[in-house]
């Protein structure tokens, strides 16, 4: 039986619960959860009041739909190259668990839902930022940058930092300076985060025909670049304190987390082992999650709002 025939048969025999799980997987929920979480502080950072629970829910849902749409379109475009990589070959499309056309339609549906939800809650500004994010991720990053330049993740990382911009715009129709700082934090965090896995999985990326930084400058050259972005990142994480958006609790914890992450990146330079590069990748997720969690905790204290 052909792969297409297998996909059609699977579509017809799969239970509703299994189908839901499959499409949730296409949206990459672990990545999506972190992206949406980074939008939470921007709902109040630099704003005059906390949003209602209903406002928070709809803004985050609209943001999640935009992120899910980006992932679905990315999965459809990269269904062939994903088959070359161990960490992606079991995704629904390379594994022939779903029809490509269904994933393309899923991405289109999530795009419409994101636009409608964000427009309803905050007008055209957040809806347009979300649409621009999807367009840049699909056309700018996936189709243009990723297969052509080892700088792909540096420039393409901008798409991963727009959740704070969407959240801020949804609250009052404009994007606060605080939200732009959060965007900058995510943008600068992305290269050291992603280059850790790029070093470890570089043979798989080469097999898929994707130019990554380790192919261009070697493992050690990539680690030095990760250090440079980390050194740029740390003072930016403290800008919200210097500008009065956040208070001393965030400042102390952000500094401590930054020094810990910096030490991890430096260790990867000194030790030169892929196991440490992998720890940089995994540690970066914990670092960003804790950083934004502390922002939320600090914002619950009166000195954290302006």
The residue-averaged pLDDT of 269-298 equals 96
d(CA 214, CA 225): 10
When pLDDT is cut at 50, 70 and 90, the band that residue 3 belongs to is very low
Q: Where in the chain are all domains bearing CATH 1.10.357.140? A: 1-175
Q: Are 169 and 103 in contact (CB under 8 A)?
A: no
Phi, psi torsion values for 141, nearest 5 degrees: -90, -60
Q: What is the pLDDT of residues 151-177, one digit of tens each?
A: 888 888 888 899 999 999 999 888 999
Q: Which two tokens stand for residue 276?
A: 């440490």
Contact 195, 224 (CB under 8 A): no
Residue 170 is predicted with a pLDDT of 94
How many Cβ atoms are within 10 Å of 261's Cβ, its own excluded? 25
Q: Tokens standing for 254?
A: 């952000």
- Match domain 1-175 to its CATH number in 1.10.357.140, 3.40.50.1820, 1.10.240.10, 3.40.190.10: 1.10.357.140
Q: Which of 160, 117, 124, 120 is nearest to 141 (CA)?
A: 160
User: So what's the pLDDT on residue 6?
Assistant: 46
Question: Distance between CA 267 and CA 273 in Å, rounded?
Answer: 9
Asked whether residue 98 carries a pLDDT value surpassing 80, the answer given is no
Angle, helix 163-172 to helix 53-77, in steps of 10 degrees = 140
Q: What is the separation of C-alpha 144 from the centre of its chain, rounded to a whole number of angstroms?
A: 18
- Structure tokens, 79: 């269904």
* Ranges of CATH 1.20.120 domains, the chain: 177-306
Quickly tell me which residue has 């930084």 as its tokens: 213
pLDDT at 208 over 80: no
pLDDT tens profile 261-274: 999 999 999 999 99
| pLDDT value, residue 8 | 43
Q: What is the pLDDT of residue 96?
A: 57
Contact (Cβ atoms closer than 8 angstroms) between residue 117 and residue 62 = yes
Q: Which of 8-17, 59-68, 201-210 has the highest mean pLDDT?
A: 59-68
Residue appearing with tokens 């003072």 = 235
Average pLDDT, stretch 78-96?
68
Q: Which CATH number fits domain 177-306: 1.10.287, 1.10.150, 1.25.40, 1.20.120?
A: 1.20.120
More confident residue, 263 or 140: 263
> Residue 90 in 3-state DSSP?
coil
């Amino acid at each position: 039986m052909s792969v297409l025939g297998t996909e059609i048969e699977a579509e017809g025999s799969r239970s509703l619960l299994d189908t839901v799980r499959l499409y949730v997987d296409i949206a990459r929920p672990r990545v999506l959860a972190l992206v949406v979480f980074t939008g939470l502080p921007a709902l109040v950072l630099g704003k005059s009041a906390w949003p209602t629970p209903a406002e928070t829910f709809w803004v985050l849902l609209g943001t999640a739909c935009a992120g899910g749409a980006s992932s679905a379109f990315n999965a459809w475009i990269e269904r062939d190259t994903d088959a070359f990589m161990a960490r992606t070959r079991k995704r629904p499309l390379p594994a022939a668990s779903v029809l490509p056309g269904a994933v393309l339609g899923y991405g289109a549906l999530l795009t419409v839902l994101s636009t409608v939800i964000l427009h309803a809650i905050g007008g055209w500004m957040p809806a347009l930022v979300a649409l621009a994010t999807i367009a840049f991720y699909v056309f700018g990053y996936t189709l243009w940058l990723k297969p052509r330049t080892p700088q792909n993740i540096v420039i393409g990382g901008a798409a991963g930092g727009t959740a704070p911009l969407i959240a801020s715009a949804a609250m009052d129709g404009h994007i606060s300076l605080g939200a732009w700082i959060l965007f900058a934090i995510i943008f600068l965090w992305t290269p050291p985060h992603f280059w850790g896995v790029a070093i470890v999985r570089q043979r798989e990326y080469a097999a898929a025909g994707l130019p990554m930084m380790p192919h261009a400058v070697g493992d050690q050259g990539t680690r030095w670049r990760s250090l440079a972005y980390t050194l740029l990142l740390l003072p930016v994480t403290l800008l919200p304190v210097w500008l009065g958006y956040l208070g001393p609790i965030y400042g102390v914890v952000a500094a401590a987390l930054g020094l810990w992450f910096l030490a991890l990146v430096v260790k990867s330079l000194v030790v030169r082992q892929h196991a440490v590069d992998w720890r940089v990748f995994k540690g970066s997720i914990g670092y960003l999650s804790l950083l934004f969690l502390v922002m939320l905790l600090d914002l619950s204290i009166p000195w954290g709002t302006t």
